């Protein structure tokens, strides 16, 4: 198979972790005889420094010409405490989502037996957790207009906007995945307060009738946040709007014990983006200590979701699990005094793939 991917390392630890995932991708392609081509491109703070634009036109062109995008992270401390900055790295991420039509973020959250002890929750609470969070990405309050501040600067406002079409396509996607899993969908909203949430619930109720074999439940976002930490194994597929999804998926991520272990896929109208859920972790940038496993697992999702190559994705997962069993892991999940560098973990996984 011919595979053409865009490689967007981004900021902070992005270049280090994406390098390991790309190496694993190359190793899998060589093993299975796939023809891989790839191009690197700038996004985020590094793109602002180079071009003044966090998502340059050249980067967008490369993404549009690619079958999939392997993405690292964006963010730089020099923008965090500068609210007056007119251009910010995060605008690159939002711009990429909007221009590529990345309407659905898919985050699988499952516990690995070897790492249950790292979870902040009790073992009996997190055991058996296997859920999929589906977050709408291109609508809602992050993109709604109008937004801004009053002339005197003392009043600020944002607007949450959703169309029926935006809700319909994301809810249908949730049911599609539920049919492949345990046939349960939880629609998360705030329908007792928000008009947009009432529309979400209305559309979801209509669609649920087309899937009688799927159990559908509706849950207010505050209750969902509580139940995620009380009883995470009760969820199968959770679908929700942009801001609620942003918050809930980060909450769900700590169930596994490490942000460095969770991959994600953003399904788009033009192409799809595969990335770890963690941020750019600037404190660790250049130190070769960041956990690359979430990014490598994102490459596994890329093989499966973008190219339908399930065996290749399975091999990457197997290599990641084997590295944990062998104790070849970075400091954040190391069980003893011994830990390994980002590059060392990446090399071990590549060697496993080649020698399997």
Measured distance CA(304)–CA(297) in Å, rounded: 11
Q: Determine contact, residues 282/76, Cβ cutoff 8 Å.
A: yes
CATH number at 1-101+282-356:
3.40.718.10
Query: d(Cα 89, Cα 108) in Å, to the nearest integer?
Result: 26
The answer to whether the beta carbons of residues 134 and 237 sit under 8 Å apart is yes
How far is 341 from 48, CA to CA, in rounded Å?
29
Q: What is the pLDDT of residues 42-99, one digit of tens each?
A: 999 999 999 999 999 999 999 999 999 999 999 999 887 777 778 999 999 989 988 9
CB of 242 closer than 8 Å to CB of 139: yes
> Which residues are catalytic, by number?
142, 190, 222, 246, 250
CA dist., res. 271 & res. 268, Å (int): 5
Backbone angles phi, psi at 237, to 5 degrees: -115, 125
Is 120-256 in the same CATH topology as 1-101+282-356? Answer: yes
Structure tokens at 8: 């967007």
pTM greater than 0.75: yes
The per-residue pLDDT for 258 is 67
The DSSP symbol for 121 reads S
| Cβ atoms within 10 Å of 221's Cβ, excluding its own | 21
pLDDT of residue 13: 97
Q: What is the dotted CATH code of the domain comprising 120-256?
A: 3.40.718.10
244: confidence class by pLDDT, cuts 50, 70, 90: very high
The model's pLDDT over 303-354, given as tens digits with 9 standing for 90+, comes to 998 999 999 999 999 999 999 999 999 998 887 779 999 999 999 999 999 9
Where along the chain do its domains lie? 1-101+282-356, 120-256
Torsion of CA 328, 331, 337, 338, to 10 degrees: 30
């Amino acid at each position: 198979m011919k595979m053409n991917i865009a490689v967007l390392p981004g900021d902070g630890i992005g270049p280090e972790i994406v390098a390991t995932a790309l190496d694993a991708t190359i190793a899998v392609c060589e093993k299975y005889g796939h023809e891989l081509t790839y191009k690197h491109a700038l996004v985020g703070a590094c793109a602002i420094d180079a071009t003044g634009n966090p998502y340059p036109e050249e980067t967008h062109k490369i993404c549009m010409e690619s079958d999939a995008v392997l993405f690292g992270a964006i963010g730089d401390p020099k923008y965090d405490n500068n609210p007056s900055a007119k251009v910010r790295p995060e605008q690159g991420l939002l711009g990429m989502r909007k221009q590529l039509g990345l309407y659905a973020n898919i985050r699988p959250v499952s516990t690995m037996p070897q790492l249950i002890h790292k979870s902040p929750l009790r073992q009996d609470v997190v055991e058996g957790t296997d859920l999929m969070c589906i977050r709408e990405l291109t609508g809602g309050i992050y993109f709604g207009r109008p937004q801004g501040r009053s002339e005197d600067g003392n009043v600020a406002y944002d607007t949450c906007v959703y169309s029926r079409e935006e809700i319909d396509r994301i809810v249908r996607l949730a049911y599609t995945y539920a049919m492949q899993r345990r046939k349960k969908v939880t629609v998360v909203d705030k329908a007792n307060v928000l008009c947009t949430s009432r529309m979400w619930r209305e559309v979801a109720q209509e669609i649920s009738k087309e899937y009688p074999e799927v159990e559908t439940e509706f849950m207010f976002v505050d209750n969902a946040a509580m139940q995620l930490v009380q009883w995470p194994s009760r969820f199968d597929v959770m679908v929700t709007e942009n801001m609620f999804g942003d918050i809930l998926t980060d909450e769900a991520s700590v169930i596994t014990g490490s942000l460095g272990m969770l991959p994600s896929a953003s399904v788009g109208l033009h192409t799809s983006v595969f990335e770890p859920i963690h941020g750019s972790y600037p404190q660790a940038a250049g130190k070769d200590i960041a956990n690359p496993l979430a990014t490598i697992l994102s490459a596994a999702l890329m093989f499966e979701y973008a190219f339908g190559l399930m065996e290749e994705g399975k091999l990457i997962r197997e290599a990641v699990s084997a590295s944990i069993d062998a104790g070849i892991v970075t400091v954040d999940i190391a069980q003893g005094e011994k830990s390994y560098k980002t590059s060392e973990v990446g090399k071990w996984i590549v060697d496993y793939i080649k020698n399997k």
